[in-house]
Amino acid sequence: MSLIGWLGKIRGHVPEVRVPLFRRRRLLVAGVSLLLLLLFWLAMPVVRFDDPVSPVLFSAEGELLGARPAADGQWRFPAGERVPERFFRVLVSYEDSRFYLHPGVDPLAVLRAARQNLRSGKVESGASTITMQVVRLARKNRKRTYAEKAREAALALRLEAGRSKKEILALFAAHAPFGGNVVGIDAASWMYFGRSPERLSWADAALLAVLPNDPGLLASAAGRVRLLRKRNGLVERLRARGVMPELECRLALAEPMPGGPRPVPRDAPHLLDTLAASRGVVSPFRSFIAADLQRTVRRIVEDHGQRLFGRDIRNVAAVVIDNRRAAVVAYVGNTGFGRSGEFGQSVDILQSRRSTGSILKPFLYAARIQEGGITPETLIADTPVRFEGFKPENFDRRFRGAVPARTALAWSLNIPAVRELREYGIPRFENRLRRWGMTTLDRSPEDYGLTLVLGGAEGKLVEIAALYAKMAQLASDAPGGGREIRLLIEEREAPSKMTDLGAAAAYLTLQALTAVNRPDEEGFWRNFSSSKWLAWKTGTSFGLRDAWAVGVMPNYTIGVWAGNAAGEGKPGLTGLAAAAPVLFDLIGAVDGGGRIERPWSGLKEIKVCRDSGFLATELCPAETVLVPEESRFDRMCAFHQTVHLDASGRFRVDSRCEPVDRMRHEPWFILPPIQEYYYRADHPDYRPLPPFRADCGGGPAGERGSRVMSLVYPEPDMSVFVPVGLDGRAGEVIFEAVHRESGATIHWHLDEDYVASTRVFHQIA
C-alpha cells in the first residue's frame, strides 16, 4: 500500500475534532495580543546616553594630565575600559542587594514599597533597582509619577533583555551624579581622590556608592557629616556580610572624607585642546607623556618664558621625543597658559606653522652626502653670489671664501647651503621633506625657490623635531629603519617615512652637528658646552621672528621654539640667544644615553685631499674620510697644481726666464681669486701664490687675467639694472673686484674707455 493510501486510511479512523467558535476567538485574541505585546516590546526605545563628555588626557603611567568640562558644563569623563569590581560589590550591597536575581524589576521590593507607601499615605519608597535608576538617568530624571514609574519598569525589563548585568552596572557608574557638576565614577575618582577608579580604596568605593543617592551632601559641613555616617554604616554592613575583612574595615573607617573636588591638573593644556579639536572626544586620550618629565619640562619652559618676556619675547614651546620608543614624552605648547590671551598664550605653537629659518639644512646635507654630491670635508664656496635676483647672505654678513661642508652646516652658513640646494634641485629636496613627514609644504617648489633651505617654508615644531628623531633612529641602526613618531598609545605603529635615507648619511649628518664652536656675534655658544654627546642645530627666521633649537641624543630628541605668536620680530630673537638656552636646560633634565656610535655597516673609506675634500690626486696631501657606501662622489681635486719656482722659492718662473733644471717644482693649494680673497682672512697659514719674477714678464699670458683677478660684482653674464633716482637721473652701481696680490693696481675700463684705477680696495661706482 502506498504511503498516501495508508495515511488516508488512518485519517478515516481518526475522529474530527471541532473547536468551538468562542475558543477559536480566544486563541485569536491571545495571538494578536502576544503579537501586539511583542511589537510594543520591540518598539520601546533602547536606553541610550548621548550626553557630551569631557576631553581628558592621561599620561603613559595613567596619571591625569588635564581635562575640560563637557559641552554642558559637567565634569563627565569618558567611561574607562573597566569599572573596578570593588565598586560594583559595594554599590550592589547598598543600592540593590537582589540585583543579580531580578530581571530589572524586583517584585519583592515593589511589594515592600507599596506596603510602606500605603501605611504612610505618601511615597516613601520607589522600589527602584539599579537597572531602573539607569533608565531614569537616561531619561534625565523626569518627574516621578506612577505612569513614569511604569515606563521605567518596562524599559528596565527591556534593558535587562539586551545587556549583561556587568554592562548595566557600568552604565550606572558612568552616568550617576556624584555631587555638583561631577558625573560618573571616572570623574568622581579623579576629582575627589586624585586617582583612577582602579585604585579606589574600600572607603572611597563606599563613599561613591552612597553619594548618588544624595549628591548634594558634599556641599555643606552638615551634609559631609551625614555622608560620613552613611559611608561608615555601609562599611560596617560590608564587614558584617563578609564582603570586607575586619582589618580593611578598620582602615576604611579611619580614612578621612574628601573636602570637595580637587583642582584639575593642567600639565599639558595645549596638547589636550589640540587633540580635542582635531580628533573629537569619544574616549580618553592616553598619551606617551611621562608625567614627571612633563612637569619638569613645563617648569623649565615657564622659567625661560619669564626671562624672555622681559625682552618682549612672549611665547616659548618645547617637545621631547623618546627616540627608541618613537613617542612624544613631553609636550609644552606655549608659556603662560591661563593668563590673558593678549599675547597668544592659548596658541599651541607646536602645531603652528612658523618660518623654519635654517633648521632644515641638515636634511639637505644628508641628501647630498648620501647621493655623493659632497663629502664632509668638501670645500663649498662662501663668496658673494646672486641667483636670478636672490642674493643670500650669512647671518654675520661675512664671507669665508670656502668652507668644508660639515663646517658650513655646523656654522649654519647660508651661502653654501643655497649653493648646495641649487646643485641638488629644489623640487627633489621639497619632495623629500614632504615624503619624510612635513605636512606644511603646500606650495610649489618654484614658489619656495632657493629660500626653501633658509626659512622660505613653514614648519611645525612637532614635525621638525620628529624629523630629527627619525634621523637619530636611522643613525642608531634602529630595526627596520625606525618608526613614525606617535602622540597617543592607541595610534598604530608605522614604519618610518625616512627609510630612503641611509644610516650612514644620518650618522655623518649628526656627527657634523656635534661641533660645539658656533660663531655668533655675542659668543653665546660658549655657554652651551655639555659633557653629553649632543648633535644640535639652531635656526632663525628672516626678520628675527622665529628662534629654533633642536638637540639630538641617543635616547631623546628635544625641540624648542621661541618668539611671538603674532609674529613680531624682536632684537635678540635668534636661535642661539633665545632658544638654545632653553634647549640646554632641557638636555640637563634627561638621560641622553651615551653617544650614537658608528653604524656597523653602510660606510666606506675614501681618500680625499686634506685641503679641499675632493678626491686626492698625486699632488694632494691625502686623508681618509667616511662616506656612505652608496655615495658616487667622483670629483677630483682641482685646487692643487704644480708651481714652478726659482731656486730661492720666492718667485714663480717659467722656461722663458729660468732653465728647467734649475726650477723647483712644488704642489700648491690654489683657490680661485675671489675665494682666496675671503679665505685668507680666516686662514693665516694659507700660502698665496708667489709673484712672477720680474724678468718673466708677469708670467704666461694665460695667467695674467682670470686666474689672478676675479669680479665680485657683477658676475659673468649678469644683467645689471641701473636704478633711477627721484629726480629721474640714473643712479650708481658699485662694481667690485679682487686680486691675488694685495698691493696690485686694477685699471677699470668701460667699453675700452678708461674709467679709473684702484689699489687695495677695488670698488668703483
Give 570-592 pLDDT, tens digit per residue: 999 999 999 999 999 999 999 98
**Residue in 93, 128, 352, 358 annotated catalytic:** 358
Gap between the Cα atoms of 619 and 375, Å rounded: 19
- Is residue 277 over pLDDT 70? yes
The pLDDT value recorded for residue 71 is 92
DSSP readout, 19-47? --HHHHHHHHHHHHHHHHHHHHHHHSPPP
DSSP readout, 536-602? EEEEE-TTS-EEEEEEE-SSEEEEEEEE-TT----TT-SIIIIIHHHHHHHHTTS---S--PPPSSS
Say if residue 357 is in the same domain as residue 497.
Answer: yes
Gap between the Cα atoms of 16 and 34, Å rounded: 28
Give the count of domains, the chain: 5
**Tally: H helices and E strands in the chain:** 22, 23
Say if residue 501 is in the same domain as residue 404.
Answer: yes
Say if residue 680 is in the same domain as residue 720.
Answer: no
- Domain holding 448: CATH number? 3.40.710.10
Give 512-533 pLDDT, tens digit per residue: 999 866 555 445 555 655 667 8
Residue 259 lies in a domain: no
- Is residue 704 over pLDDT 50? no
Q: What percent of the chain has pLDDT over 90?
A: 57
Residue type at 490?
E
Say if residue 129 is in the same domain as residue 175.
Answer: yes
Is 358 a residue of the active site? yes
**Residue in 54, 63, 93, 95 annotated catalytic:** 95
pTM above 0.75?
yes
DSSP readout, 410-462? HTT-HHHHHHHHHHH-HHHHHHHHHHHT-TT--S-HHHHGGGGGTT-SEE-HH
The CA–CA distances, whole Å, from 125 to 90, 212, 356 equal: 21, 16, 69
Gap between the Cα atoms of 474 and 471, Å rounded: 5
The residue that leads in pLDDT, 60 or 140, is: 60
Owning domain of residue 722:
709-764
Say if residue 383 is in the same domain as residue 481.
Answer: yes
Gap between the Cα atoms of 493 and 491, Å rounded: 7
Is 95 a residue of the active site? yes
Is the peptide bond prior to 714 cis by the omega test (within 30 degrees of 0)? yes
- Is residue 4 over pLDDT 60? no
Residue type at 311?
R
Say if residue 80 is in the same domain as residue 30.
Answer: no
Mean pLDDT of the chain: 86
pLDDT grade, residue 83 (50/70/90)? confident
The residue to which cell 599639558 is assigned? 268
Residue 701: strand, helix, or coil:
helix
How many Cβ atoms sit within 10 Å of the Cβ of residue 300? 22
Residue 592 lies in a domain: no
Say if residue 173 is in the same domain as residue 66.
Answer: yes
- Is residue 6 over pLDDT 90? no
Please state which of the ranges 41-50, 153-162, 416-425 shows the lowest mean pLDDT. 41-50
Mean local confidence (pLDDT), 25-44: 60
The pLDDT value recorded for residue 7 is 43
Say if residue 207 is in the same domain as residue 237.
Answer: yes
Residues 59, 285 contacting (CB under 8 angstroms): no
Mean local confidence (pLDDT), 24-44: 60
Residue 273 lies in a domain: no
Gap between the Cα atoms of 182 and 69, Å rounded: 9
The pLDDT value recorded for residue 705 is 39
The pLDDT value recorded for residue 79 is 84
C-alpha cell at 159: 534593558
Q: What percent of the chain has pLDDT over 70?
A: 82
Query: In terms of residues, how long is the chain?
Result: 765
- Is residue 267 over pLDDT 90? yes
Give 219-248 pLDDT, tens digit per residue: 888 888 999 999 999 999 999 988 888 999
Residues paired with residue 64 on neighbouring β-strands, in sequence order: 58
The residue that leads in pLDDT, 386 or 15, is: 386
Say if residue 623 is in the same domain as residue 490.
Answer: no
Give 292-318 pLDDT, tens digit per residue: 999 999 999 999 999 999 999 999 999
The residue that leads in pLDDT, 485 or 728, is: 485
The pLDDT value recorded for residue 22 is 63
The pLDDT value recorded for residue 2 is 46
Of residues 478, 525, 505, the one with CA closest to residue 631: 505
Residue 324 lies in a domain: no
- Is residue 455 over pLDDT 90? yes
The pLDDT value recorded for residue 637 is 94
